[in-house]
Amino acid sequence: MKRNLQIKFGVIAATILLCLFGIFGLPTSLAQVKENFQKNIHLGLDLRGGSHLVLQVQLQDAFMATADVTMQRLQEELKKQGVVLPPMDRNSPATLDDADKIQINVHGVPVDKTSLFRNLVAEQFPDWILTPVSSTDYRMTIKPSEAIKLKQDTLTQTMHTIERKINALGLAESSVQQRGRAEAEAELLVQLPGVDDPARIKALLQEQAMLELYEVKDGPFSSEQEAMAKHGGVLPLNTKLVHAVARDGQASGYYLLAMSPVIRGTDIRSAHAGQGETPGRWETDFVLTQEAAHRFEQFTESNIGNRLAIVLDGSVISAPTIQNRISDTGRITGAANEQEASDLALNLTAGSLPARVVVEEERTVGPSLGADSIHEGYVAGLAGLIAVVISMLIYYRAAGINATLALVLNAVILIAALAYFDATLTLPGIAGIILTIGMAVDSNVLIFERVREELRAGKGVAAALDAGFSKAFLTIIDTHVTTVVSCAFLFLFGTGPVKGFAVTLVIGLIANVFTAVFVSKTIFDWELSRKRVATLSI
């Protein structure tokens, strides 16, 4: 064998070994071969089952919460300076796009305190722009730069909270990422492969789990009208009417609560589910942070005999009477079953979402469909491949073996590349593979037809092979580069599935130039080098 040929075979052998290693690793048993294969080839959600969710973060919630905190702080700071203002209010942006239109209305600033008020806002609340409305009233709007920061922070925080929830559920291989390129895009993409109970997971992720404890001012009332009637049609200052859900012996109704909570979701350190005193009853216990425990202790001490409302995601779930001083623990009773209690514990520990999330898109593939798709795809792929191989062998005889080897090697390289790049194989990815195989067949056909032409023109075997390969090579480069160019655009501008198609196709095309041109030619050269061949089986 010529030295040149030896080097070429070395390159091919090294490539094959590298690919096999990428796909199967270094197995020691037959079972491990299968196991490593499944570990290295990641199947997409559409093939193995699972859920794909796009969650829209309702950023306006975070803006409203920020405005509430600002209002409270501003009142406190002013009080320190000896100025007591009538209650401030804010607007409630209804949609995501209006989130940064949040505004706080300040009323009744005494004219002689104007400069004090203005200085205070400028110094202590630099994130807000103060605009006078009249001599005593002002409007505060959030600075654009601050709005962008708040949006980003809220998104990041939401993402981390959802990540914590998913991790607590023990869902392997799940991912949460921000969707879209623009920073302002308030959407998160959650991928949950292999999840067999998507409805529960979805509910769990959406649960804002905002636990708040409020002082009960009055109630319960059976309806909103009743509550309003009792207070002369106007709610007392700094109070709000909150709906109570029917749960664990509590009838549905309304409570009049203090405007701001004693304890917020962020004050909770940990939570866990446990059996109640009566067996079969489940409850969730939570522990407060040190700072909150101190606050809670003071509050409960001075409010013994009063009622305390436990509010979860905006609804009162129970309103027990404070029996004695409580420091750092609390308990939520009345879960319907163990799962509900432990889900709540998980949510409380993971932390509350800074804003509500709404499911914008869900694609769930049941595990049985995934299994079927793989099976069917396998059968179809195999049937197609066998048909192609048989036709090639009949039409090109011995040269068909070359083509078959090149095809198989192409598929091996493609799968190995997917394993090395940690890419995920999806349905559109399979479309890419099909196109790759089609183009691989085409490359072989192009070359062989060209060689036949050269043979017909009367050239010798070696000369015909050389001419055929080099002429077909130009065409192959043109077709392949054109497709790669289009893939580049698809990758840049396309969404998930389109991208998957582009990636597999590009890998396949590069592999194809190697197998159809280099490998196939090397095999022919080797045949020629063994003996002097007068005719070519093509």
| Least distance (Å) between residue 478 CB and another protein | 5
- Per-position b or e across 249-266, b if 16+ CB within 10 A of its CB: ebeebbbbbebebbbbbe
- DSSP codes joined into one string, 97-161: GGGGG-EEEE----GGGHHHHHHHHHHH-TTEEEEESSSS-EEEEE-HHHHHHHHHHHHHHHHHH
- Paired sense of beta strands 315-318 and 308-312, if any: antiparallel
Instruction: Check residue 39 for interaction with another protein (CB under 8 A).
Output: no
> Which one of 119, 339, 470, 537 is in contact with another protein (CB under 8 A)?
339
Q: Rank residues 8 and 52 by Cβ distance to another protein and give the closer one.
A: 52
Q: CB of residue 512 vs another protein: minimum separation in angstroms?
A: 12
Least distance in angstroms from the C-beta of 199 to another protein: 7
Nearer CB in complex with another protein: 48/217: 48
Which helix (H) or strand (E) element contains residue 424? strand 424-425
Site string for another protein, 43-72 (x = CB under 8 A): ---x-------x-x----------------
- Could you say whether residue 122 binds another protein (CB under 8 A)? no
Q: Does 344 bind another protein (CB under 8 A)?
A: no
Q: Restricting to residues 315-334, which ones interact with another protein according to CB under 8 A?
A: none
Rounded least distance, CB 99 to another protein, Å:
16
**Residue 481 in contact with another protein, rule: CB under 8 A:** yes
CB 319 within 8 A of CB 220: yes
Q: Does 211 bind another protein (CB under 8 A)?
A: no
Shortest Å, Cβ 221 to another protein: 28
Q: Strand 42-43 relative to strand 424-425: parallel, antiparallel, unpaired?
A: parallel
Q: How far does CA 112 lie from the centroid of its chain? A: 54
* 366 counts as binding another protein under rule CB under 8 A: yes
**Residue 390, SS3?**
helix
Residue 314 DSSP class: T
Q: Rank residues 385 and 510 by Cβ distance to another protein and give the closer one.
A: 385
* Stretch of 30-38, 291-299, 327-335, 493-501 contacting another protein, by CB under 8 A: 493-501
Q: Is 216 exposed, middle or buried (0-12, 13-18, 19+ CB in 10 A)?
A: buried
Cβ of residue 56: shortest distance to another protein, in angstroms?
7
Angle (CA) 69-75-81 rounded to 5° is: 140
Q: Which of 439, 455, 506, 507 binds another protein (CB under 8 A)?
A: 439
Least distance from another protein to the Cβ atom of residue 514, Å: 18
Region of 13-21, 112-120, 125-133, 381-389 interacting with another protein (CB under 8 A): 381-389
> For another protein, which is the closer residue by CB, 175 or 339?
339
What minimum distance in Å lies between the beta carbon of 449 and another protein?
5
**Of the residues 148, 235, 241, 431, which one makes contact with another protein according to CB under 8 A:** 431
**Residue 466 interacting with another protein (CB under 8 A):** no
Query: Of these, 497, 527, 528, 529, which contacts another protein (CB under 8 A)?
Result: 497
Amino acid letter, 126: P
What are the structure tokens assigned to 530, written together? 């063994």
SS3 383: helix
CA angle 171, 174, 180 (to 5 degrees): 155
Shortest Cβ distance from residue 407 to another protein (Å)? Answer: 11
Please give the Cα distance from 102 to 67 (Å, whole number): 8
Residue 133 to residue 131: CA distance in whole angstroms: 6
Of 229, 421, 485, 537, the one binding another protein by CB under 8 A: 485
Does residue 369 bind another protein (CB under 8 A)?
A: yes
**Number of separate helices (H) and strands (E) present in the chain:** 16, 18
Residue 105 is a binding residue for another protein (CB under 8 A): no
